[in-house]
Amino acid sequence: MTPPIPVTGLTRAELTDLVTGWGEKPFRARQLWSWLHVKLARDWAAMSDLARPFRARLMASCAPLRPAIRAHQVSADGTEKWLLGLADGQVIETVYIPEDARGTLCVSSQAGCSLNCPFCHTGRQGFARNLTSAEIVEQVLLARGELLLRARRVTNVVLMGMGEPLYNYDAVARAVHILMDDAGLAIGSRKITLSTAGVVPRLDAVGRELGVNLAISLHAAREEVRNRLVPLNRKYGLGDLRAALLNYPLKSGRRVTWEYVLLDGVNDRLDDARAFGAYLQGIPSKINLIPFNPWPGTAFRPSSPEVILRFQEALHRQGFVTVIRDSRGADIAAACGQLKGQLPGARPRSAGAEAPASGDSTP
Ligand code: SAH
């Protein structure tokens, strides 16, 4: 038996090949594409203008069009989180962050994460597997469809949920092309941001092949601190990362976003801010300071609001656009670094998985 076709993860050209390969006319592919990516159909029965035999063939050969919604939570601040069950039982999370003029969807690229950054809750659960392009696209289709019913919009997409998108480049790239397709969801390249801990050999492709906004999770501009906070730094160090960004094919008028989570006593001194500013010299940059979002069992603590403001001030003085990201959805564990693929109220999988790594962060 051939495996079910993950039809939502096909580009328009691939979908056309599939459909015409079945002997259907190309306009059938256009109809199907529009059902999937414009009308946001969740099942085959809705596709009323497709001929019955064609629909029957789709139903028999294709995978379901949506993951299962295992839980949906809404935060006091309007942030929403879906816990989604995939066909093989893995669970991932997708977060919607409404703002005045826009709505941002934070999507996952992997089930779990292999990077093991000690301050991030997702990393504590380990890595399960890469998501397929269909599983990435379906997070957007699902959220758009659900939110549309309540007249809420998804204008922006950030690849900032669970996982390291550049360790799943092929599926992420295909998904991004599908999201950007003018005849589909039509989310423009400047409305999509890919966040990476710094997989240096892949950065150039993000600029050249995808052209979306790039965010780098720096968190420290000093080698020994970054080695600890972002273990990937032992593979791709600060020097390599900076060289790649100096050569990065940035579109005109755009900047690289730098993410920096402020951890009390770890990376929040004025010295750290100076090292950070010096590190960015020559790279068109904007800075997102992220107040640390604590999670059960972490030994890290957030920097105080005064320290955060002082850190921001120091970067302003060095000439950098620096914003403090407001933490959204913390009451439903939907904030940065809190995603863990768990049902509300569920207990941690094992006590061991909650312990900070190697005593580094023990107070
Ligand atoms: N792997 C990618 C994308 C996922 S993380 C990356 O590293 O960029 C998204 C952002 O949330 C990263 O900047 C990450 O470092 C940050 N983050 C992780 N845990 C956090 C926490 N507990 N509080 C605040 N930000 C956190």
Residues 202-228: tens digit of each pLDDT: 999 999 999 999 999 999 999 999 999
The CATH number that applies at residue 135 is: 3.20.20.70
Q: Is residue 346 part of a domain?
A: no
Give strand ranges (E) for 90-165. 91-98, 103-106, 110-112, 127-130, 156-159
Q: Is the CB of 216 under 6 A from ligand 1?
A: no
In a domain, 349, yes or no: no
Check if the beta carbon of residue 192 is closer than 8 Å to that of residue 212. Answer: yes
Total tally of structural domains belonging to the chain: 2
Residue 149 has pLDDT above 70, yes or no: yes
- 254 and 144 in one domain? yes
Residues 49 and 126 in one domain: no
Asked if residue 136 is part of any domain, the answer here is yes
**Cα(327)–Cα(261) distance, rounded to whole angstroms?**
11
Least confident of 10-24, 46-60, 323-337: 323-337
164 and 46, same structural domain?
no
The residue whose C-alpha atom lies closest to atom 26 belonging to ligand 1 is: 337
Pairwise CA distance, residues 167 & 129, whole Å: 10
- What is the mean pLDDT of the segment spanning 237-266? 97
Q: Domain check: are 72 and 38 in the same one?
A: no
- Say what percent of the chain tops pLDDT 90: 87
- Rounded to whole angstroms, the Cα distance separating 362 from 329 reads 26
> Of 317, 333, 337, 171, which is closest to residue 262 (Cα–Cα)?
337
Write out the residue range of the structural domain in which residue 51 sits.
7-61
Q: Is the domain of 78 the same as that of 49?
A: no
C-alpha of residue 150 to centroid of ligand 1, in Å? 29
Q: What percent of the chain has pLDDT over 70?
A: 94
Candidate list 113, 117, 120, 336, residue with the active-site label? 336
322 and 214 in a common domain:
yes
CA distance 310 to 273: 9
Please tell me whether residues 220 and 299 are part of one structural domain: yes
Question: Is 158 close to ligand 1, i.e. is its CB under 6 Å away?
Answer: no
Q: Please tell me the predicted confidence (pLDDT) of residue 80.
A: 96
Neighbouring residues of 125: CB distance < 8 A, sequence distance ≥ 6:
112, 113, 340, 341, 349, 353
Residue 360 has pLDDT above 50, yes or no: no
Note whether 277 and 141 are same-domain residues: yes
* Mean of pLDDT over the chain: 92
Q: Is there a domain that residue 117 lies in?
A: yes
Residues 21 and 94 grouped into a single domain: no
Whether 313 maps to a domain, the answer reads yes
Which CATH number covers residue 57? Answer: 1.10.150.530
